[in-house]
Amino acid sequence: MSIRWADRKFEFTTPVEQFPDVLERLRGTPARVEEKVRGLSPAVLTRRDGEAWSIQEHLGHLVDLDELHVGRVDDFLAGASTLRPADPQNKKTHEADHNRRDVKHLAQDFRRERRQFVERLEGIEPPQLARTALHPRLGQPMRVVDMAWFVAEHDDHHLARMTALARLFASS
């Protein structure tokens, strides 16, 4: 059983020197997603476990959030004291109807959006990586390197859910 993302607690201790490692995690997520959905039938990709999102909806959620991540990079670079908030209701994902889309197009969209996010992060000068701003939901400060790590953790949370759904439904 996985813990809900909103219930997780975080300690932001990643050394700035590990930023290239965190970037590699972020850069590699689209390939991991593509591997995960390859060979799964549309019925498995779009099947929900009760009210929980399907595999495609988890993927669509990752696509939807990269705009927020790029915006938060902008917040850091602008010297904002608090990062822009995420929508705790995930309205964009719920309204997008990602299950009606072709998974290949969703994966392409994610690869494009993630590339833009990683490119924005790559353009940050080393002294800027330690800038801090308050994360609005967590109520704690984070640095650019922490925000990137936080996004990588969020990716892994959704990839784990996708794996669990694939295991649950692929054999039924």
User: What is the residue whose two structure tokens read 């801090």?
Assistant: 132
pLDDT at 171: 73
pLDDT at 1: 55
- The candidate with the shortest Cα–Cα distance to 106, out of 147, 60, 64, is 60
pLDDT at 76: 97
Q: Does domain 12-170 have CATH number 3.40.50.1220?
A: no
- Token pair of 96, please? 């997008």
Helix spans in 14-133 (H): 19-37, 42-45, 55-77, 91-96, 103-122
Domain ranges of the chain: 12-170
Tens-digit pLDDT string for the chain (172 aa): 577 877 788 899 999 999 999 999 999 999 999 999 999 999 999 999 999 999 999 999 999 999 999 999 999 999 999 999 999 888 999 899 999 999 999 999 999 999 999 999 999 998 898 899 999 999 999 999 999 999 999 999 999 999 999 999 987 6
Does the pTM exceed 0.85? yes
